[in-house]
Amino acid sequence: MTAKTVFILNGPNLNLLGAREPEIYGSDTLADIEAASKVKAGELGLSVDFRQSNNEGTLIDWVQEADKHATGLIINPGGFTHTSIALLDALTAASLPKIELHLSNIHAREAFRQKSITAGAANGVIMGIGAAGYPLALEAIKSLIEGQKR
């Protein structure tokens, strides 16, 4: 991995994007989002390691890997946003810049979705603008990375 690698981690059910509730999550597939993220990262002088898992432990392992091998982390924790103290602990332990990302506005959703357990470990949160949030998250993470170097 290059010195400017950003991990983009996607949680449970995000592999179903494009088919799962497009009225909420949009019609872009995860492959579409990955391709657009790689283009944007290249424009910003970054590289992307883009991953998705439905397993909490795998996401935790990847957060720990990112902390050792990447310069930034963007995470869409999916349903683990609202339930995973273990993922929060991993994110809190990671010292690299972190952005939490959501396709939908969790504050406009069902009551159980309105609280993010994991957001407190992130430098910032982007939500509610669908797939367009990924390139914005890359711009934000680049800014955070550059801020660390000053």
Per the structure, the complete domain to which residue 104 belongs is given by 5-149
pTM: 0.91
User: pLDDT for 77-112, tens place per residue?
Assistant: 998 898 899 999 999 999 999 999 999 888 777 776
CA distances from 116 to 33, 60, 62, 69, 123 (A): 23, 16, 20, 26, 14
* CATH number of residue 20's parent domain: 3.40.50.9100
HEC per residue, 10-72: ECCCHHHCCCCCHHHHCCCCHHHHHHHHHHHHHHCCCEEEEEECCCHHHHHHHHHHHHHHCCE
**Who's near 4: CB < 8 A, 6+ residues apart?**
45, 46, 47, 71, 145
Q: What's the pLDDT score for residue 27?
A: 75
Residue 1, pLDDT score:
55
What pLDDT is attached to residue 95?
97
- The count of domains in the chain is 1
Q: What is the mean pLDDT of the chain?
A: 91
Q: What is the pLDDT of residue 105?
A: 85
Determine the longest span between alpha carbons in the chain, in angstroms.
43
Q: Choose among 144, 143, 113, 106: nearest CA to 127.
A: 106
* pLDDT tens digits for range 12-40: 989 988 877 667 666 799 999 999 999 99
**Per-residue pLDDT at 48 exceeds 90:** yes
The per-residue pLDDT for 104 is 84
Active site residue 134: no
Residue 150 has pLDDT above 60, yes or no: no
Q: Which of 25, 69, 82, 107 is catalytic?
A: 25
